[in-house]
Amino acid sequence: MTMKQYRDYYFKKAKQEHYPARSVYKLQEMDKAYKVFKPGQRVLDLGACPGSWTLYAAKQVGESGRVLGIDLNVPDTVFPAQVVFLQEDIFSQSPKFVEQIRELAPFSVIMSDMAPKTTGNKNTDQARSIQLVEAAFALAETWLDVGGTFIAKVFEGPDVRSFVQSLRSRFAKVTMVKPKSSRSESKEIFILGLSLLDISDENIG
């Protein structure tokens, strides 16, 4: 199978299974490998548009779960009843944004498929990508439940390793994944923090 055929396979598969983008299979692959989702969970999806990750998460958590999708853009996707979508800039921290998160928190999974608008400058794009990941983790530090999972897309670069290292004291396991459904030429990788540790006791005394 050529790379073009490989890409077309996931594109066609997404259409057949009624997902708006092929990116769903990256999340599905990580879920199968690390058992990310369970029925009844609450999930925060950052950079949710066009909605493939939100739809997949909603199916996995079921009617008893909730998914909050946040993006600057509003997707055309029709979501099931357990999904709430909010058009918002995660950097704004507006009262509406914070209140919507507080209503559903804590979350069992906080995931980010956010990517910067690319400039063509590798260093600039990577720096902006890690900035988005840091912003996503800042939300996770506040709203992710103990034992929860953090997933974030990032462009490979010199800043990634130090960020990943900083997560190792916060999670039982931290790993980096390049899903098979990612394009081989893509610089994207996914950081997974599995089972957020309870460090509250460490701050006592």
Catalytic site positions: 153
Question: Amino acid identity of 75?
Answer: P
**HEC profile of 104-152:** HCCEEEEEECCCCCCCCCHHHHHHHHHHHHHHHHHHHHHHEEEEEEEEE
User: Is 42 in a helix, a strand, or coil?
Assistant: strand
Taking only the tens of pLDDT, the chain with its 205 residues reads: 454 555 578 889 998 999 999 999 999 999 999 999 999 999 999 999 999 999 999 999 999 999 999 999 999 999 999 999 999 999 888 898 899 999 999 999 999 999 999 999 999 999 999 999 999 999 999 999 999 999 999 999 999 999 999 999 999 999 999 998 888 788 999 999 999 999 875 544 4
Greatest distance between any 2 Cα atoms in the chain: 60
User: Domains plus CATH for the chain?
Assistant: 23-203 (3.40.50.150)
Question: What is the layout of strands, in order, in the sheet containing 66-71?
Answer: 83-87, 66-71, 42-46, 107-112, 144-155, 188-196, 171-177
